Amino acid sequence: MGCLVSHLAAKFAFFPPSPPTYQIKTRGDGKPTAVYTSSDAPLDDGGCSLDVLSLETKTGNKIVAFYLKNPYARLTLLYSHGNAADLGQLFDLFVQLKANLRVNLMGYDYSGYGASTGKPSESNTYADIEAVYECLETEYGVSQEDLILYGQSVGSGPTLHLAAKLPRLRGVVLHSGILSGLRVVCHVKCTLCFDIYKNVNKIRKVKCPTLVIHGTEDDVVDWLHGNGLWKMAKDPFEPLWIKGGGHCNLELYPDYIRHLCRFIYEMETITTKTRLSKIKPTLRLPKKSKSKSNPKTLSCTNPCSCCCLKSGQPDCLKCARPNCLKCTNCFKAKCCLLNWKCGCCWWRKPKCVEVKLPKCPACLRCGCFTCSCNCLSCSCW
């Protein structure tokens, strides 16, 4: 029953444009290129910085990805789009984000979207974004420290799926994100086993700064979803609540690109020291000892007065009293007999002059002070 409901939920979650707004063709040099379906005009960003990629996922599907390179970029943005768009519709937005944010941008179509093969599903979108991330690592040398994940609407699902697995990720942007699939439709407060895109659970595993953008008049995904994600984030960045904004028009508001630019700038300038200072309070570190000195580094400035208890191992196997490594007069070799001339460490030096060291052979059988004390005659013990 759960699988059936999940399958039905997936049908309501994905609406790929039909027909696709672009097609993939092969150029004279053998490289793939993208053209608009309506006009057969090539998708061009005004330069030669667009790479059209075909990536195979672990589920066997082949998905299309666009990589737009900015020569001045320090960071890379991995964009996961909503449930009713494809790369052809988003290409102009990609060009603007690449230029205004000064980032490299990788966008991709889910399985069953655009020119990608397969059928759209939750598990396929997870496999899709993992394949794109692997391509960024192997083909473009992008590490997670220089990567920002961007998820719009349903794209927040695969975004948080990958972000939860990358502890050193630079940042995450959730644009009109969802708490979960069923929460969009039914407004339930609990997580059911057949729910899809359980972002409400995964957001807690994301360790990097998280920016949430949501419109206050969103009639598809209520603003409460964005507010809930922001409150549950471990490292929330100042959110952007666009007053009057809907679900698909936030890019038209000036505050959108302005706030994104600020976020990207802070992610560029953030240092390892700053990130560690934010993470440190959340870690469970062992408590430091109250003692200010280290026993191993103590120096014996006054022979026979300090260190027998803090360093060394006992010479006598039957006696637990350690021998001082620095005070040679504390105990004699292979013996733990007390030497009153040294007068340190384990026992107070008696003030009474009647104290005598044991001399009878019977008291020296084991050589420890426990036996030898029987021969000591002193009224003040």
- DSSP output for 30-86: S-EEEEETTT-PBP--SSS-EEEEEEE-TTS-EEEEEEE--TT-SSEEEEE--TT--
Catalytic position from the list 218, 222, 225, 259:
218
Place of tokens 């200072």: 277
Ramachandran region, residue 113 (left: φ > 0; alpha: ψ -120 to 50; beta: rest): beta
Computed on alpha carbons and rounded to an integer, the radius of gyration of the chain in Å comes to 35
Whether 207 and 220 have beta carbons less than 8 Å apart is answered as no
Known active-site residue 305: no
Catalytic position from the list 81, 161, 225, 247:
247
Of the candidates 347, 343, 354, which has an alpha carbon nearest to the alpha carbon of residue 376? 354
Report which residue type is found at 27.
Answer: R
Known active-site residue 153: yes
Distance CA 304, CA 157 (A): 69
Ramachandran region, residue 112 (left: φ > 0; alpha: ψ -120 to 50; beta: rest): left
Catalytic position from the list 153, 156, 311, 372:
153
Per residue, the 3-state secondary structure of 66-82, as one string, reads EEECCCCCCCEEEEECC
Distance CA 220, CA 242 (A): 15
Tokens linked to 227 = 């507010």
Known active-site residue 219: no
Cβ atoms within 10 Å of 362's Cβ, excluding its own: 10
Q: Could you list the active site residues?
A: 153, 218, 247
